[in-house]
């Protein structure tokens, strides 16, 4: 029986990246739908729920993507509420790669330093990747600080993390060298998740910080978020600190993405959201 993946995307054009990755993961057919909303998704889900029964249900699965994570979350909730009993399909949720990217970054970084009970800083963490990374660091037992240039935006982000994940994250403002230096005091790890082309940690700050042991940066557009970082860094030791660039993190991200798609078809009752994807990332890292 063919493996069919229903791709639900809130953007007008479904992500080509996601469909190519699905085929690389062994999917036979991808049914792509764009402009999906919480109001029109139910009938699409019915199409995969009711066409195959029993053990055959696992041969159909659902992928939810798009660039608007809030709208994608609304779609996910409707999808989950459409299922009943054993009449359901496995689902993967990864709009804009937010879950696979954050899970891969946290898995790589936490493998090189014991973060339990330690301070970890997520800089420019108000976006989907930053919020999920902060939550996953907290899941591993870290004391997490999330920064923004604006304290109001940082507070709004940590409130959202509390709502979704239940963790208490400390908000902080980091808007210049002095505030960045202060927020990194006592931290063992720092992850930059800011906008492309914006340097967040100058070289002189991270190299002279006595407690930082591992740094990560998901930005691939120069200048990178960490000065003197290279995108290709995948655990390079620079003056006693382990560094991970966007390509180093991205290599694991792609493995995790493909592995999760493959596992969708093992059972019909799985939901690969941040936590489940993180489990896969830790396994593969």
Domains of the chain: 4-93 (3.40.50.10280), 101-249 (3.40.50.720)
Residue 40's pLDDT band (cuts 50, 70, 90): very high
Residue 113's pLDDT band (cuts 50, 70, 90): very high
User: Percent of the chain, pLDDT > 70?
Assistant: 100
- The mean of the pLDDT values for the chain is 97
pLDDT at residue 266 in the model: 98
Average pLDDT over residues 30-45: 98
Which tokens hold the place of 62?
A: 């659902």
Bond into 237 cis (ω within 30): no
Average pLDDT over residues 140-159: 98
DSSP characters over the chain: ---EEEEEESSSS--HHHHHHHHHTT-SEEEEE-S--TTTHHHHHHHHHSSS-GGGGGGEEEEEE-S-HHHHHHHHHHHHHH-BTTB--EEEE-GGGHHHHHHHHHHHHHHHS--TTSEEEEETTTSHHHHHHHHHHHHTT-EEEEEESSHHHHHHHHHHHHHHH----EEEE--SHHHHHHHTTTEEEEEE---TT---B-HHHHHH-SS--EEEE---SSSPSBTT--TT-EEEEETTEEEE-HHHHHHHHHHHHHHHHHHHTT-SS-EESHHHHHHHHHHH-
pLDDT at residue 106 in the model: 98
Residue 122's pLDDT band (cuts 50, 70, 90): very high
Average pLDDT over residues 250-271: 98
Average pLDDT over residues 7-17: 97
Residue 104's pLDDT band (cuts 50, 70, 90): very high
pLDDT at residue 260 in the model: 98
Tens digit of each residue's pLDDT (9 = 90 or more) over 179-230: 999 999 999 999 999 999 999 999 999 999 999 999 999 999 999 999 999 9
Tens digit of each residue's pLDDT (9 = 90 or more) over 66-82: 999 999 999 999 999 99
pLDDT at residue 51 in the model: 96
Average pLDDT over residues 93-97: 97
Average pLDDT over residues 268-274: 98
């Amino acid at each position: 029986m063919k493996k069919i993946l229903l791709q639900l995307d809130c953007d007008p054009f479904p992500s080509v990246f996601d469909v190519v990755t699905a085929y690389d993961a062994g999917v036979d057919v991808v049914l792509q739908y764009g402009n999906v909303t919480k109001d029109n998704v139910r009938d699409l889900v019915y199409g995969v729920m009711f066409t195959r029964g029993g053990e055959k249900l696992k041969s159909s699965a659902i992928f939810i993507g798009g660039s608007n994570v809030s709208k994608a979350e609304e779609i996910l909730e409707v999808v989950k509420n459409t299922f009943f009993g054993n009449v359901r399909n496995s689902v993967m949720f990864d709009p804009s790669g937010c879950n696979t990217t954050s899970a891969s970054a946290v898995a790589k970084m936490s493998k090189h330093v014991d973060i339990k009970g330690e301070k970890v800083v997520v800089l420019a963490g108000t976006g989907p990747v930053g919020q999920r990374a902060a939550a996953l660091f907290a899941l591993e037992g870290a004391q997490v600080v999330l920064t923004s240039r604006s304290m109001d935006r940082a507070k709004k982000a940590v409130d959202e993390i509390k709502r979704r994940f239940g963790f208490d994250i400390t908000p902080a403002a980091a808007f210049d060298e002095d505030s960045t230096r202060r927020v990194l005091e006592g931290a063992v790890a720092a992850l930059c998740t800011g906008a492309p082309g914006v340097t967040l940690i100058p070289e002189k700050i991270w190299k002279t910080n006595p407690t930082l042991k591992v740094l990560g940066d998901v930005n691939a557009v120069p200048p990178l978020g960490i000065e003197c970082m290279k995108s290709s860094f995948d655990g390079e030791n620079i003056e006693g600190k382990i560094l991970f660039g966007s390509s180093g993190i991205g290599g694991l991200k792609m493995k995790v993405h493909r592995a999760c798609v493959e596992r969708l078809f093992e059972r019909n009752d799985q939901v690969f959201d941040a936590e489940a994807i993180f489990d896969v990332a830790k396994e593969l890292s």
